[in-house]
Structure 1
Amino acid sequence: MADTSAVRYVTYIGSSAERVWHALTDADATGAYWGHSNVSDWKAGSTWEHQRTDGTRTADVVGTVLESAPPTRLVSTWVLPGADPTGEAASRVTFDIQPYDGIVRLTMTHENLPSDAEREKAAHGWAAVLSNLKTYVETGNPLPQEPWRMP
């Protein structure tokens, strides 16, 4: 039986694994295509924050880095601020970066989502963010509009 509490998204990017890793872990890069800066030292056991780029640096999501194997694998928990980032309520996001002859297959898996509504919301959001990441890595610029705002 398929795990209905998870979202998986796969995309192929004309780039190196190192550039994709950088796009996922560099605060300035994530701020450019995500609208939030992902801030951490990205070492296993470290915390991370998904901070707004509106000048407030408000963290809308926080978590703990569970695995960090640059440039091919990053696993972290995701929770709302104030929740236990290692508790049972935390969801888990895995990025697998597989290079192959000048391209990269990026597989994102978001597990342990609490409801069908949250899974649907995550599926929509991840498709938009990862499409924007792909464009950013391949061209140096994000899409001209934030794709998650598209009705």
Structure 2
Amino acid sequence: MSDRPTFVYVTFIQATPEQVWHALTDADVTAQYWAEHSNVSDWQVGSAWEHPRTDGSGIVDLVGTVLEAAPPRKLMITRTGPNEERPDGPGQVTFDIEPHGDIVRLTVTHENLADHDEHVSVSAGWPSVLANLKSLLETGHVLSQGPWEMYAEMRAARMARNDPR
């Protein structure tokens, strides 16, 4: 990895490592907490994974390769746009699942981000997705509204004020 931006997010979930692993790797479950996408792969090292829309359009917004799969403790993938060529290679996402009693510490590390804009984007995206994942595993339901909607509204307000953060 180069000296590109990195994003790290840690959350604690009332679940077993096996439940978290299943939620990260089962396409039907991912479709619930990613809202408009799912994650599809056989999750074997070297296999491709895709992040297709669930609207039936067949559009795949992200692709990558499974770099490491050690159920139920660690999953590492590359992540990039389907036709994106990045001089420093694709982004890399690692999911570390650490049990502690009857809870799990889930750490998501997204490395080799292309630039500041991608860092801003994933800094809003990952917390939203992981909040939905946590809610789903702990209550059986995702949040009543998409957390990313709040970010989109805040971003629109900032842009209206000419504040590009």
Report TM bin, short chain: over 0.9
Q: Would the aligned equivalents of 1:4 and 1:116 in 2 still touch at CA under 8 Å? A: no
- TM-score, with length taken from structure 1: 0.93
Report the equivalent of 2:11. Answer: 11
Structure 1 counterpart SS, 2:62: strand
Report the equivalent of 1:90. Answer: 90
Report the equivalent of 2:52. Answer: 51
- TM-score, with length taken from structure 2: 0.85
Q: Could you say which structure has the larger radius of gyration?
A: 2
Q: Structure 1 regions of 5+ residues with no counterpart? A: none
Quote the sequence identity (%). Answer: 53
Looking at structure 1, the residues matched to 57 and 40 of structure 2 have their Cα atoms a distance apart, in angstroms, of 14
* CA deviation profile, 1:113-144 (whole Å, cap 9, x unmatched): 01111101111100100011000111111101
Report the equivalent of 2:133. Answer: 133
The correspondence of residues 6-45 of structure 1 with structure 2, limited to 5 A, is: 6-35=6-35, 36-45=37-46
1:89 Cα offset (Å) = 2.7
Q: How many residues align?
A: 148
| CA root-mean-square deviation | 1.5
Report the equivalent of 2:99. Answer: 99
Looking at structure 2, the residues matched to 57 and 134 of structure 1 have their Cα atoms a distance apart, in angstroms, of 27
Shift >6 Å, 4+ stretches: none
The correspondence of residues 107-126 of structure 1 with structure 2, limited to 5 A, is: 107-126=107-126
State whether structure 2 residue 70 is matched by structure 1 residue 74. no
Q: Would the aligned equivalents of 2:4 and 2:114 in 1 still touch at CA under 8 Å? A: no
1:57 Cα offset (Å) = 3.1
What amino acid is the match of 1:57? G
Q: Which has the higher strand share?
A: 1
* CA deviation profile, 1:15-64 (whole Å, cap 9, x unmatched): 00000011111000000010211000001000000011111231100000
